[in-house]
Amino acid sequence: MPLALELDSVDFAYEHGPPVLRDVSFEVEAGEFVAIAGPNGGGKTTLLRLALGLARPTRGRVQLFGEPADRFRDRARLGYLSQRAQLGVQAPATVREVVSAGRAARNAFGRLTAEDREAIDQAMERVGLADLARRPLSRLSGGQQQRAFIAKALVSGPQLLALDEPTAGVDVEAQEALSGLLARLNDELGVTILYVSHEFGAIEHVVRRLVLVRGGIVFDGPPSSLPGVWHDPSHVHV
Amino acid sequence: MFEFEFMRLAFAAGAIVGLLAPVVGFFLVQRQMSLIGDGIGHVAFAGVAAGYLIGVSPVWTALVAAIVGAAAIEWLRAHRTAAGDQALALVFYSGIAGGVVLISAAGALNANLFAYLFGSILTVTRAELLRIALLGLGALLLVAILLRALLAVAIDEEGARVSGLPVAFLNGAVSMLAALTIGISMRIVGILLIAALMVLPVIAAQRVAWSLRSTMGLSISIGLGSVLAGLTASYYLNMPPGGAIVLTAAATFVVAAGLETLRRRV
């Protein structure tokens, strides 16, 4: 399978700060569903930002679909659910308006075309929010808001979907619904998924690969091979 | 009151500003930069003072100063040299201090200055109306072209960055539009009050709106309504127009907040 993402001997530190990541190397094949977990401050969000070309490594190389991540041009191939997305709406944006915003990756300056509208309808349908298209986000549950932002990330037809702490502030039922939705997207559309969270319990039964990050990669393999101590909620990684 | 040309000109100029200010303010509020208008306004004051000092029309020097101030705030914010509110404070205080020094040097601490600080809509000339109309229409056209991209950034700035939108350019464009709005509007409600006309209609609309589209529509209606009602009140009640316009917008916010509370209880 071709590589969706490749990090080769990557170091990263913020300006005047200590190293956040050291000597990180790993590859993600197109179509993989990878959970990236680790303690808060362990560098997993930084790793995601490097992968998406939002930050440049201080050493090493990051490639997205074979191109340097920070110069990657075809960005409609990327879908992203940011950690703070749900907080970004001050006005009463509806589900349709939020999802439409994701379409700007393909058509930022013109009017919405028939193709755009069809993609928006499909994305809302896929996450089960078609009936709530005109509902303001502020009147939805945390899980529904999160699905609206996933639809926004999907609407440009991405080949790589990156989610940063998608289960923050969401109840257990919604977390399970999310893991089912992501598994379907991965199976049916072949979308490569990077799922970043400090907590991986909700997702470990659907991912085939788990990467634990704490300043570097401390585990990379199937969740079933993970040493038992990492499943202990009292362990220092949480 | 429309038998007087100065009232007809005032209503025409006011309508343009009442339309433009909330449109630009909508994006400032979404970016949690509601006070940027105040910051830029204070730099524009330094521009007015510079105009008096060098003998150039203060309208143009204020517009240039506003654009420089907006660029400075955006640069400081984007480069994380200072947090958004600190960048604003730095530009805000430097602007007002610079203005006081320059206006004193020009010996222009007089009533004319008040026309720029608090507006003088009843003295708008046909030439000024033409300038306001051209610049205002240009600003509205720019918003129309960038609308979808600006909304994408307002909803999720980081997501917009990942999807390849020119976020720095778009944020800069909003700041420039704010500067332009202040430059256009200072004869209408004044440098010290224009920020209110950008922000109050939007935060009032947000209380009762049901979508982004309705927020924008209601903001424009409230902005326009405030200008027209404020001007009418100022004519019949002999009040300063700038103050009357902003107080009308503030009263609309109080009504909208009351309606929101009522809706939640029902």
For residue A127, give the CATH number of its domain.
3.40.50.300
Residue at A30 is within a domain: yes
Q: Give dist(CA A192, CA A29) in Å, integer.
A: 8
Considering CB atoms only, which of B149, B159, B210 is closest to A108?
B149
Q: Is A61 helix (H, G, I), strand (E, B) or coil?
A: strand
Q: Is A182 a residue whose pLDDT tops 90?
A: no
The fold adopted by the segment(s) B5-192 is ABC transporter involved in vitamin B12 uptake, BtuC (1.10.3470)
Report the gap between the CA of B143 and the closest CA in chain A (Å): 10
Which of B141, B148, B167, B210 is best to mutate for the A interface (most A CBs within 10 A)? B148
Any CB–CB contact under 8 A between B237 and chain A? no
Short-list B103, B22, B13, CA closest to B65: B103
Selected residue of B158, B170, B208, B264 to mutate for chain A interface (largest A Cβ count, 10 A): B158
Model pTM above 0.90: no
> What integer best gives the mean pLDDT of chain A?
85
Query: Taking CB atoms and an 8 Å limit, are A90 and B164 in contact across chains?
Result: no
Residues A120/A121/A124/A126 CA torsion (nearest 10 deg): -110
Torsion angles phi and psi, residue A64, rounded to 5: -115, 120
CB distance A194 to A160 below 8 Å:
yes
Q: Is the pLDDT of residue A234 over 60?
A: no
Distance of alpha carbon A219 from alpha carbon A34, whole angstroms:
12
> Are A104 and A136 within 8 A, CB to CB?
no
Cβ contact, residue pair B156, A75, below 8 Å:
no
Domain boundary among A110, A140, A158: A158
Can you list the alpha helix ranges (DSSP code H) found in chain B? 5-30, 36-54, 58-78, 84-105, 111-118, 126-155, 157-162, 167-185, 194-208, 212-237, 241-265
Same domain, A92 and A31: no
For residue A105, list chain B residues with Cβ-Cβ distance below 8 A.
Answer: 163-165
Grade residue B80 by pLDDT with cuts at 50, 70 and 90. low
Token pair, residue A234, equals 């009292």
Write the residue in A73, A85, A108 that is nearest to B156 by C-beta: A85
Structural domain containing residue A129: 74-158
Nearest CA in chain B to A133: B211
What is the value of ipTM here, to two decimals?
0.84
* Separation CA B122–CA B240 (nearest Å): 10
pLDDT tier at A2 (50, 70, 90 boundaries)?
confident
Q: Measured at the alpha carbon of residue B70, what is the angle toward residues B65 and B71, in degrees to the nearest 5?
A: 100
- Measured torsion, CA atoms of residues A198, A199, A205, A207, in degrees rounded to the nearest 10: -10
Nearest CA in chain A to B142: A109
For residues B184-198, average pLDDT: 84
Do A3 and A22 sit in the same domain of this protein? yes
**For residue B245, what are the CA distances in angstroms to B119, B180, B224, B241, B249?**
11, 20, 10, 6, 6
Look at residue A89 and tell me whether its pLDDT is greater than 60. no
The yes-or-no verdict on residue A56 having pLDDT over 80 is yes
Same domain, A81 and A152: yes
Distance CA B127, CA A209 (A): 69
Residues of A with CB under 8 A from a CB of B: 52, 54, 73, 75-76, 78, 80-82, 84-85, 88-94, 97-98, 100-102, 104-105, 107-110, 112, 134, 136, 149, 152-153, 156, 162
Q: Are residues A140 and A173 in the same domain?
A: no
Q: Is residue A131 part of a domain?
A: yes
Query: Do B148 and A134 count as a contact with CB atoms less than 8 A apart?
Result: no
Identify which of B201, B145, B211 has the alpha carbon closest to the alpha carbon of residue B173: B145
Q: Which two tokens stand for residue A222?
A: 């199937």
Residues A101 and A42 grouped into a single domain: no
Amino acid letter for position B71 = A
What pLDDT, on a 0 to 100 scale, did the predictor assign at position B4?
Answer: 81
Residues A174 and A222 in one domain: yes
Which residue of A lies nearest to B264 if distances are taken between CA atoms? A139
Which among B26, B29, B158 has the least Cβ separation from residue A84? B158
Domain count, chain A: 2
Q: Are residues A144 and A174 in the same domain?
A: no
Q: Are residues A151 and A215 in the same domain?
A: no
CA distances (Å), origin A123, targets A147, A159, A196, B44: 10, 14, 22, 46
Assess if residue A118 is contained within a domain. Answer: yes
Burial class of residue A40 in the structure, from the number of CB atoms within 10 Å of its CB (0-12 exposed, 13-18 middle, 19+ buried)? exposed
Is B263 an 8 Å CB contact of chain A? Answer: no
User: DSSP class of residue A131?
Assistant: G
Distance (Å, whole) CA B219 – CA B209: 9
Query: Are the beta carbons of B185 and B17 closer than 8 angstroms?
Result: yes
Q: How far is CA B200 from CA A109, A182, B18, B98, B144, in A?
A: 28, 42, 11, 28, 22
Q: Nearest CB to B212: which of A93, A105, A149?
A: A93
Q: Which of residues 17-46 of B touch A (CB under 8 A)?
A: 26, 29-30, 32
pLDDT by residue (tens digit) across B106-127? 777 776 777 778 777 878 888 8
| Residue finishing a domain among A158, A176, A191 | A158
Question: Does B81 have pLDDT greater than 80?
Answer: no
Tell me whether residues B156 and A152 touch, CB distance under 8 A.
Answer: yes
CA of A158: which chain B residue's CA is closest? B163
How high is the pLDDT of residue A90? 63
What's residue A238's pLDDT? Answer: 44
Contact A104 B163 (CB under 8 A): yes
Locate B227 and state its tokens: 């200008």
- For residue B66, the one-letter residue type is A
pLDDT exceeds 80 at position A169: no
Phi, psi at A193, each rounded to 5° = -125, 130
* Residue A173 included in any domain: yes
What are the extents of the domains in chain B?
Answer: 5-192
Q: What is the mean pLDDT of residues A199-220?
A: 83
Question: Residue A47: enclosing H or E segment and its boundaries?
Answer: helix A44-51
Please say if the pLDDT value at position A233 is more than 60: no
Q: A111 with A193: CB under 8 angstroms?
A: no
* Residue A68 falls inside a structural domain: no
- Predicted pLDDT of residue B99: 85
| Closest CB to B155 among A89, A105, A109 | A89
User: For the segment B22-64, what is each residue's pLDDT rounded down to a tens digit?
Assistant: 999 999 888 777 788 888 888 888 888 888 888 888 888 888 9
Closest residue on chain B to A150 (Cα): B159
Considering only CB atoms, which chain A residues are within 8 Å of B32? 90
Q: Clarify whether residues A183 and A225 are in a common domain.
A: yes
Whether residue B255 has pLDDT greater than 90? yes
Name the domain boundary from A108, A140, A158.
Answer: A158
Q: Which residues of B touch A137 (CB under 8 A)?
A: none
Q: Which of B26, B157, B160 sits opposite A104 (nearest CB)?
A: B160
- Min Cα distance A155 → chain B (Å) is 11
Using one digit for the tens of pLDDT, what is the confidence trace for A104-128? 878 778 788 899 999 999 999 988 8
Q: What is the DSSP letter of A209?
A: E
